[in-house]
Structure 1
Amino acid sequence: MKSHNLKLYNTLSRQKEDFQAINPPFVGLYVCGPTVYGDAHLGHARPAITFDTVNRYLTHLGFRVRYVRNITDVGHLQGDADEGEDKIAKKAKLEQLEPMEIAQQYTDSYHRDMALLNTWKPNIEPRATGHIPEQIALVEAILKEGLAYEVNGSVYFDTLKYNERTPYGRLSGRVIDELMSGSRDLDGQSEKRNSVDFALWKNAAPEHLMKWDSPWGMGFPGWHLECTAMSSKYLGTHFDIHGGGMDLMFPHHECEIAQGNACNHKDPVNYWMHNNMITINGQKMGKSLGNFITLQELFQGKHDLLEQAYSPMTIRYFILTAHYRSTLDFSNDALQAAQKGYKKIINGLRIARELKFEGNADVTLDEDQIRQIESSIQSAYRAMDDDFNTAQAIGHLFNLLKKINSMFTGQLQSASLGETVFNKLIETFTKFVVDILGLTEEKSDVQDQMLELMLKLYSEAKTARNYDKVDQIRAGLKGMGFVVKDMKDKIDWAYEE
């Protein structure tokens, strides 16, 4: 593994901590995935890209990451509560389909959108419905510890009794007395002993579509239970990193900590990481506000709030230009700026891949340029080592991009850097853009062939001094997002920024 002093912000301790893997070089990473009852939206994109980048950087450093991201296909009730209708079952009734048809349809569409955003597939993607026996066994273990109780075929976690042994609310900073006093009196309206208790297993009414047999009768697992069951199965009862959106911190992740401690008498996770929320033009995203934008609407530009379509890589780049723990506001101005930034980076990537070292014994080394390059490289790594600060890392990549562009235009000679520094510059820029940040060039083979043909026609028209044709070809390419560049020794193109 590469020697790096990687620090990450641990929500549990509320401070940055040195990252120490439990069993290096192996790292266990669990991230809460989607509840599959609708198309993926901006709120799904941020954690997917955030923890994809975490996975990529840990892998770059030499760790062997087992990345587990679940699919919630049962147990997530309306309002994230313990009462009400299952979100997937409700959608199934509306569309007159089986719940598993809904789950499959939206799992497939989620995978499609995540692939467009160039996120790596998780090593394991367990589904809640595929782990019912594990969840039942977990409920039995908590009951055996005396930290749960059964009422009319439902089983609830006894939060107050658990709190006597281990403080509840450490992750979110909630105090159980305040939670108790701040909740509505549910006497006569709920089976729970206390309002802060949560469902581990729910008794299913006869008309409930998704239910399984259990020691307590026909029912279904509570939403919080599945992540504890699946993370412990694939990563063990004590693993390295658990990630997710800040909206899951309470109660979902708080309940996971309680469930893990109840069974195993220890915290299940060393580091809790949470990405912050997304706003649209300064407002929280919500269907009632009319600013709920799916990823496909973004990619196609089909929403009243959008002035144009924004490509998947523009969205990925935009999310990376903010630190994952900061609020991220989507607006047309911000996205258009991100589109320009992304194209500059990709133009630089094309150039970097084409540049060759040209040694010249008569050229002396430019120590000042070398120091600047070395400093930018070190700073880019320091940014990533400081809690995966992609925003700062991108800033340092633009400093490297200036050097790459200067070599392309001939203002800077590669010989003045020396072959070692030249290779390090090209390798670092390429690895950061492609391997760590996960940015790719959005151009098809057909576009490659079209560009090659158009540049050939452009060259022929220029040689023949047919300047009307030259202008026509240049304007046509510009309309498709490409700019013709007349170089000293060749004709090239770039993405229009």
Structure 2
Amino acid sequence: MALYQDNELRIYNSIKGEKEVFKSITEGRIGMYVCGPTVYSNVHLGNCRTFISFDMVFRYLKHLGYKTRYVRNITDAGHLTDDADEGEDKISKKARLEKIEPMEVVQQYTLDFHTVMKQFNAYPPSIEPTATGHIVEQIEIIKTIMKNGYAYEKNGSIYFNVVKFNEDHEYGKLSGRNLEDMMANSRELAAQSDKENPADFALWKKASPEHIMRWPSPWGDGFPGWHLECTVMSSKYLGETFDIHGGGMDLKFPHHECEIAQGEAAHGHSPVNYWMHANMLTLNGQKMSKSTGNSILPVELFTGENDFMQKAFAPSVVRFFMMQAHYRSILDFSNDAILAAEKGFNRLTEAMKVMDKLPVSKTSSIDLSSWKAKCYAAMNDDFNTPILIAELFDAVKMIHSINDGNATITASDLADLQETMNAFFFDVLGLQDAKEEGSASLNKGMDGAMKLIIDLRATARANKDWSTSDKIRDELAAAGISLKDGADGTSYSVD
């Protein structure tokens, strides 16, 4: 029997403003969509927190035995500067500044995003669709929304008619905003726009002559609206209504609000049952911002090459730090806070090593079943990782007590303790031993250094500089590194 059948999971549903008992649309299966990055720059630590939070959600759902399809998109077109309907596409702007093709920008920063998420030990999503790969579907859904009377064409652009939609539905129910107030606050922009109403938003934008990223459509060359992309990709891979939609708190309005409107306008019903939003990460008590210099990239944290932290920190320590706060709470990143997290992380990992060598007895003096129940209760309460971690530290006390001879545990209970600790530490929280991470990083660095040395030796051999070639080989051998020349080149091994 799957674990989810014995665990009542409660999720804070942003659209209801309260925790609700989770019930999947299909028994034992879950569809989850999370808004992915717009790939025009290096992914920053605040974005990483959102993706790490939903990686934890994905991991726990899998742990409970749900067959989970996790879709997280790549926005590689259509996201305008300042999240508005006017202005320039972020990727096109970057391409113009660097004098390269937009897809070079996309490739560079998509690879960076994947590298960083792998360093954080995040699972890849089940499907990672791109906006540019779904232009046809976006054009088709625009046709449907227009046919249903909720969109109009103006000078080659298509806009969603929020006022008309609000007559039949409720625009603003996710963010708690009132349409009249939104209209009043944005009236001054109305005269400068093709929109019939200032609250309307673009489904398709006409491309100006200099706009690089453009596609043919029934309304002329253009590009899709940012909000539309997620509606299309989520419904294509998860259905017109699916279980969970996640993203950062900053996306609640306008992005997710517009997604709801588009879904209801196209399909006639709500697209999502449970809306989840992860909160922001601040740095030294202030919002992270590139323009003010109050920001830090993950690689700067891992290498220690930054102006905020006194040393480098392993990715698992950073991930552990993030897991110490609830995903819906604001988390402040500071030197003192991450140092404290590192101490706690090391204490936990050392105890797990002690756990593997604990002596066993014929009786147990610990209440293991009660402790396990508390671990699951924490995660079932809207994925409460800080409470789970507190329970893991209670297990640390148990481990040391047994190791010191002040408590006893049977072989079967020890196996259960080990299985549970490993499940929550590695599988659910997604943590790794920081020393193993450092070893992997060291091996990667050694590979790079050895490639350089082997290339230098190859150059010496090509120039018939045998003394240099032999000197490199002999001194490496003295250091315990053997070179082997073969048909496919030179390889090395550590003795």
TM range (shorter): 0.7 to 0.9
In structure 2, the partner of 1:494 is none
Does 1:297 pair with 2:292? no
**For 1:282-431, what aligned pairs fall within 5 Å after superposition?**
282-352=285-355, 354-355=356-357, 358-360=360-362, 365-366=363-364, 369-371=365-367, 373-412=368-407, 416-431=408-423
Q: Does 1:56 align with 2:59?
A: yes
Q: Secondary structure of 1:30's partner?
A: strand
Q: Structure 1 counterpart of 2:115, which letter? A: R
Contact 2:134–2:233 (Cα < 8 Å) also in 1: yes
Q: Secondary structure at the match of 2:282?
A: strand
Matched to 2:188, the amino acid is D
User: Which residue does the alignment assign to 2:140?
Assistant: 137
In structure 2, distance between residues paired with 1:93 and 1:383: 49
Aligned-partner Cα distance in 1 for 2:438–2:43: 29
Q: Which residue of 1 aligns with 2:424?
A: 432
Paired position in structure 1 for 2:463: none
* TM-score, normalised with respect to structure 1: 0.86
The answer to whether the aligner puts 1:78 opposite 2:81 as a matched pair is yes
Deviation at 1:446, TM superposition (A): 9.3
For 1:117 and 1:342, how far apart are their aligned partners in 2? 15
Once the two structures are aligned, what percentage of the paired residues are identical?
A: 53
Query: In structure 2, what is the equivalent of residue 484 of structure 1?
Result: none
Residues in 1 aligned to 2:85 and 2:326: alpha-carbon distance in whole angstroms: 34
For 1:445 and 1:46, the matched residues in 2 are separated by 19
What is the Cα-based RMSD across aligned positions, in Å? 1.6
The match for 1:37 among 35, 40, 45 is: 40
Measured in 2, the distance between the counterparts of 1:6 and 1:312 equals 29
Instruction: Report the secondary structure of 2:174's partner residue.
Output: coil
User: Aligned residue for 2:226?
Assistant: 223
Name which of structure 1's ranges 434-443 and 237-246 shifts more when overlaid on structure 2. Answer: 434-443
Select the residue among 231, 238, 241 that pairs with 2:241: 238
Mapped partners of 2:333, 2:121: distance in 1: 20
Give the superposition deviation at 1:183: 1.4
Tell me which amino acid in the other structure corresponds to 2:410.
Answer: G
Does the residue aligned with 1:433 lie in a helix, a strand or coil? helix
TM-score scaled by length of structure 2: 0.86
Shifted more, 171-180 versus 284-293: the winner is 284-293
Hey, what's the Cα distance between the residues in 2 that align with 1:133 and 1:154? 16
CA offsets 1:294-331 (integer angstroms, 9 cap, x no match): 11111112221222212111110011000011110001
1:370, 1:421 within 8 Å by CA — same for their partners in 2?
no
Which residue is 2:200 aligned to? 197
SS where residue 287 of structure 1 aligns?
coil
Q: Name the structure 2 match of 1:152.
A: 155
How many residues get paired?
438
Q: State how far apart, in whole Å, the 1-side matches of 2:242 and 2:439 are.
A: 46
- Which digits, 9 at most, give the CA deviation of each residue in 1:420-451, with x for residues without a partner? 32222121111110111111113349959x9x
Residue range with higher mean Cα deviation, 245-254 or 306-315: 306-315
Alpha carbons 2:28, 2:67 under 8 Å: kept: yes
Counterparts of 1:304 and 1:80, CA distance in 2: 30
User: Deviation digits for residues 16-55 of structure 1, max 9, x if unmatched?
Assistant: 0000000021100000000001111111111111101111
Pairing of 1:19-34 with structure 2 (within 5 A): 19-34=22-37
Letter in 1 for 2:91: I
Go from structure 1 to structure 2 and tell me whether the alpha carbon gap of 1:445 and 1:40 turns closer, same or farther (over 3 Å shift): closer
- CA distance, structure 1, for counterparts of residue 100 and residue 433 of structure 2: 39
Consecutive unaligned residues of structure 1, counting only runs of 5 or more, are: 451-497
3-state SS, counterpart of residue 305 of structure 1 = coil
Q: Which amino acid aligns with 2:302?
A: F
Equivalent in the alignment of 2:276? 273
Alignment correspondent of 1:103:
106
Contact 2:360 2:410 survives alignment (8 Å): no
2:465 alignment counterpart: none
Q: Runs ≥4 in structure 1, deviation > 4 angstroms?
A: 444-448
* 3-state secondary structure, aligned to 1:185: helix
Paired position in structure 1 for 2:457: none
Aligned partner letter, 2:209: P
Secondary structure of 2:41 counterpart:
coil
Letter in 2 for 1:355: K
Q: Distance in 2 between matches of 1:4 and 1:133?
A: 42
1:357 shift after superposition: 5.6
Contact 2:361–2:409 (CA<8 Å) still a contact in 1? no
Is residue 214 of structure 2 the alignment partner of residue 211 of structure 1? Answer: yes
Gaps of 5+ in 2: 443-495
Query: Is residue 46–residue 282 contact of structure 2 (8 Å, CA) maintained in 1?
Result: no
Q: Are 2:358 and 2:402, in contact at CA under 8 Å, matched by a contact in 1? A: no
- In the alignment, the residues of structure 1 paired with residue 404 and residue 382 of structure 2 have an alpha-carbon distance, to the nearest angstrom, of 36
Map residues 244-255 of structure 1 onto 2, 5 A cutoff.
244-255=247-258
Could you tell me how far apart the structure 1 residues matched to 2:374 and 2:269 are?
Answer: 38
Q: CA deviation at 1:351?
A: 2.6
User: How far apart, CA to CA, are the structure 2 residues paired with 1:349 and 1:30?
Assistant: 34
Sort the Cα spacing of 1:393 and 1:445 in 2 relative to 1 into closer, same or farther, 3 A. Answer: closer
Structure 1 residue matching 2:39: 3-state secondary structure: coil
Q: 1:376 to 1:359 in 2, by over 3 A?
A: closer
Q: Can you list the C-alpha shifts for 1:345-369, whole angstroms capped at 9, x where unaligned?
A: 21122233x3266345xxxx35xx4
Q: Is the 8 A contact 2:317 2:434 kept in 1?
A: no
